[in-house]
């Protein structure tokens, strides 16, 4: 297995509890550089899930809580989450500059903060439902860029965006600012129809400038998750990958 791209592969550990999540960890050891704990698992087990996952895996830990609240609440939450010793934490850029800056101050460089720009499950019609009417995909790219610049100016380490906006984020924010992309669907998993709207293959997302790919269901639901991760790593190696 070629693991040269494993540190750029984030596996979304989307399970209801530790007992269902634990069996896949040894199958993915060495294949994924980061495991992502989302709301489902965090709420199912509580904060103690972080050390329990660390015990079972050498991968970095990404806590995907997508914080979005008034600045004081987010600041105080980040102070608490800092105690868990995670490597990455997400928050919504839509919370605005004061919220993002306070979060960055509270984190104090102890973990990388990533700002969600526009969820990859949102398309133009999803945003319209919420009162944000964008003309076309170019306007979506512009919105993502505006939010990425806001995140950078507020002291975050990078953003979550789809592969379609990765090039614009890198061009506007520079090579050192992370573009982390979910909504990744290898060709062999496309067409299954799920909630992701702005999707891209691993190879194309890396070629567009994504630094790290977040992948859940194509690995989690594969009959052989180790094989699925290896296929994805192969596809990543075929693209113009990061340094």
Q: Which residue has the tokens 């050192």?
A: 176
From the list 116, 107, 1, 105, the residue with the least C-alpha distance to 68 is: 116
DSSP assignment letter at 187: G
Q: Binders of ligand LLZGTKA7 among 101-160, rule CB under 6 A?
A: 116, 119-121, 160
By CB under 6 A, tell whether 12 contacts ligand LLZGTKA7: yes
Beta strands in the chain (DSSP E): 9-12, 34-38, 60-67, 88-92, 112-116, 158-160, 178-181, 212-215
Active site residues: 64, 66, 69
Is 67 known as a binding-site position?
A: yes
By CB under 6 A, tell whether 202 contacts ligand LLZGTKA7: no
Give 95 or 183: the residue with its C-beta nearer to ligand LLZGTKA7.
183
SS3 assignment, position 29: coil
Q: Are 68 and 95 in contact (CB under 8 A)?
A: yes
Give 107 or 183: the residue with its C-beta nearer to ligand LLZGTKA7.
183
Among 98, 217, 222, 241, which residue interacts with ligand LLZGTKA7 (rule: CB under 6 A)?
Answer: 217
* Span interacting with ligand LLZGTKA7, options 15-23, 97-105, 170-178, 215-223, rule CB under 6 A: 215-223
Cα 201 from chain centre: 15
Work out how close the CB of 189 gets to ligand LLZGTKA7 at its nearest, in angstroms, rounded to a whole number: 9
Orientation angle between helical segments 137-153 and 163-173, nearest 10 degrees: 50
Tokens of 77: 């939450």
Number of residues that bind ligand LLZGTKA7 (CB under 6 A): 16
DSSP assignment letter at 83: T
Which residues are at the interface with ligand LLZGTKA7 (CB under 6 A)? 12, 14, 38, 64, 116, 119-121, 160, 182-183, 196, 214-217
């Amino acid at each position: 297995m070629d693991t040269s791209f494993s540190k750029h592969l984030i596996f979304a550990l989307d399970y209801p509890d530790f007992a269902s999540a634990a069996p896949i960890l040894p199958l993915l050891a060495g294949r994924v550089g980061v495991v992502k704990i989302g709301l489902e698992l965090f709420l199912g087990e509580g904060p103690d899930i972080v050390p329990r996952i660390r015990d079972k895996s050498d991968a970095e830990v990404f806590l995907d809580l997508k914080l979005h609240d008034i600045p004081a609440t987010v600041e105080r939450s980040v102070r608490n989450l800092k105690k868990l010793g995670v490597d990455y934490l997400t928050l919504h850029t839509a919370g605005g500059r004061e919220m993002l800056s306070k979060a960055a101050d509270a984190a104090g460089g102890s973990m990388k903060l990533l700002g969600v720009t526009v969820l990859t499950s949102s398309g133009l019609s999803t945003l319209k439902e919420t009162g944000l009417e964008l003309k076309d995909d170019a306007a979506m790219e512009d919105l993502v860029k505006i939010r990425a610049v806001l995140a950078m100016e507020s002291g975050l380490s990078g953003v979550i965006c789809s592969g379609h906006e990765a090039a614009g984020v890198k061009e506007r924010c520079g090579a050192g600012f992370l573009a982390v992309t979910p909504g990744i669907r290898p060709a062999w998993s496309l067409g299954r129809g799920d909630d992701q709207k702005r999707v891209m293959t691993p190879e194309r997302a890396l070629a567009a400038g994504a630094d790290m790919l977040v992948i859940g269901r194509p690995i989690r639901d594969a009959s052989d998750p180790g094989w699925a991760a290896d296929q994805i790593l192969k596809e990543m190696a075929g693209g113009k990958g990061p340094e």
